[in-house]
Amino acid sequence: MISHKEIVIAVTGSIAAYKTCELVRNLTKEGYPVRVIMTEHATHFIGRITFEALTGKPVRINEYDIGMAHIELKNIASVFAVVPATANIIGKFANGIADDLVTSTYLAATCPILLAPAMNPGMYASPAVQRNLQTLEKDGVIILDPSSGVVVCGDEGQGKLADIASIQNKIIELHNKEITV
């Protein structure tokens, strides 16, 4: 049976958003069906047109553009991956806030959910972010821990987006599992 499920990737407002272009390009090049959605803040970092060109599909940002996008997305998603995931989106997910398309899709999703956090090491180490990540893990969300190193602002510590190859492998593993069950 042919599956019509797609990998749904949400991009949020982190400086690491440019790395998601490579991830999306790699997945589409390998023939995986990918759909991108973005938060409004993510568009300060990358334009929707880039992801539209890479996927050949419209990129949804505004929840009220057409119909019930979050429900359509949850129906088609084999995996919902948030790359990169900001401190803000992690906090909203952990607390059930649904005030845009990405957060509404998260709450509606019934597929495996994967988050790849990226932020300043101080933000990542903050009790609030750590508490929220623990909550999400308890809720069954897969977290791909950020790596350590020097971040764009010059600070050093854990907070860099996990490497694209490992995010890609995990997404493919989850997608293949979902379409064969």
Residues that bind ligand FMN (CB under 6 A): 12-16, 39, 41-42, 86-89, 118-119, 123
Task: Determine the Cα–Cα distance for residues 63 and 60; give it in Å rounded to an integer.
Answer: 8
β-strand 34-38 against 77-85: which pairing, if any?
unpaired
Toward ligand FMN, which CB reaches closer, 13 or 33?
13
Contact partners, residue 159, CB within 8 Å, separation at least 6: 117, 118, 119, 120, 121, 123, 124, 146, 148, 151
SS3 64: coil
SS3 134: helix
Task: Determine the Cα–Cα distance for residues 56 and 179; give it in Å rounded to an integer.
Answer: 21
Task: Determine the Cα–Cα distance for residues 72 and 136; give it in Å rounded to an integer.
Answer: 23
**Residues recognised as catalytic:** 153
Toward ligand FMN, which CB reaches closer, 14 or 104?
14
Task: Determine the Cα–Cα distance for residues 153 and 130; give it in Å rounded to an integer.
Answer: 21
Q: How far is the CB of 9 from ligand FMN (least distance, A)?
A: 14
Q: How far is the CB of 15 from ligand FMN (least distance, A)?
A: 4
Q: How far is the CB of 86 from ligand FMN (least distance, A)?
A: 3
Q: How far is the CB of 170 from ligand FMN (least distance, A)?
A: 20
Toward ligand FMN, which CB reaches closer, 69 or 89?
89
